[in-house]
Structure 1
Amino acid sequence: MSNVIAVISDYGLKDHYVGTVHGVIYQNNPEAKVIDITHFVRPFDVVDGALKLKWSYKYYPIGTVFLCLVDPNPKDELIIVTTEKYFVVCPNNGIGSLMFEEEPAGSVYRITAEHYFISGLGNFRGRNQLAPIAAELARLQSPIYLGEEVEIGKLKRFRLPDPQRLGENMYETLVLDVDYFGNLILNFRYQGSLPKEVEINGVKITNSSETFRGERKGELFVSVNPENYLQVVAYMGNASKLLNATRGTKVKISF
Structure 2
Amino acid sequence: MAVITFLSDFGYTDHYVAAVKAKILSNNPEATIVDISHAIDPFNIAQAEYVLGSVYNDFPEGSVHLAAISTHGSKNGKYHAAKYKGHYFLMADNGLLSLLTDGQPDIVIELQNDTPLMAFPAKDLLAPVAAYLAKGGDIEILGERTYQFRQLLNRQLRLNDHYITGHVIHVDRYGNLITNITRDSIETIAHGRTYTIHFGRETISRIYPTYTQVDDGDCCCAYNSQDQLCIGINQGHAAELLGLGFDSQVDVRFYPGS
Query: Shorter chain as normaliser: what TM range?
Result: 0.7 to 0.9
Provide the residue aligned with 1:159 in structure 2.
153
CA-CA distance at 1:211 after TM superposition: 2.9
Provide the residue aligned with 1:107 in structure 2.
107
Provide the residue aligned with 1:89 in structure 2.
90
Which residues in structure 2 correspond to 1:34-49 (within 5 Å)?
Answer: 34-49=33-48
Give secondary structure in 2 for the equivalent of 1:11: coil
Separation in structure 1 between the aligned mates of residue 138 and residue 85 of structure 2, nearest angstrom? 12
Which residues in structure 2 correspond to 1:171-182 (within 5 Å)?
Answer: 171-182=164-175
User: Does the Cα contact within 8 Å between 1:80 and 1:143 map onto a contact in 2?
Assistant: yes
Separation in structure 2 between the aligned mates of residue 213 and residue 46 of structure 1, nearest angstrom? 31
CA-CA distance at 1:203 after TM superposition: 2.2
User: Does the Cα contact within 8 Å between 2:211 and 2:232 map onto a contact in 1?
Assistant: no
Check if 1:235 corresponds to 2:234. Answer: yes
Provide the residue aligned with 1:16 in structure 2.
15
Query: What is the TM-score with the length of structure 2 in the denominator?
Result: 0.86
Q: Deviations over 1:8-46 (max 9, x none)?
A: 111111211111111111011111100111112121011
Return the match for 1:127 from 123, 127, 148. Answer: 123
Q: Which runs of 5+ in 2 are unaligned?
A: none
User: Does the Cα contact within 8 Å between 2:73 and 2:93 map onto a contact in 1?
Assistant: no
Separation in structure 1 between the aligned mates of residue 36 and residue 170 of structure 2, nearest angstrom? 16
Q: Which runs of 5+ in 1 are unaligned?
A: none
Query: What is the aligned-residue RMSD (CA, Å)?
Result: 2.4
* C-alpha distance 215-58 of structure 1, shift in aligned 2 (>3 A): same
Give secondary structure in 1 for the equivalent of 2:207: coil
CA-CA distance at 1:156 after TM superposition: 2.5
Q: Deviations over 1:172-208 (max 9, x none)?
A: 2211110111110011111275973222222223343
User: Does the Cα contact within 8 Å between 2:74 and 2:93 map onto a contact in 1?
Assistant: no
Which residues in structure 2 correspond to 1:202-241 (within 5 Å)?
Answer: 202-241=201-240
Instruction: Give 1:169's aligned amino acid.
Output: H
Check if 1:183 corresponds to 2:176. Answer: yes
Q: Percent identity?
A: 26
CA-CA distance at 1:237 after TM superposition: 1.0
Which residues in structure 2 correspond to 1:66-81 (within 5 Å)?
Answer: 66-71=65-70, 72-75=72-75, 76-81=77-82
Give secondary structure in 1 for the equivalent of 2:99: helix
CA-CA distance at 1:213 after TM superposition: 4.5
Q: Please, which moves more after superposition, 156-165 or 22-31?
A: 156-165
Separation in structure 1 between the aligned mates of residue 153 and residue 82 of structure 2, nearest angstrom? 18
Q: Deviations over 1:39-61 (max 9, x none)?
A: 12121011211122211111011
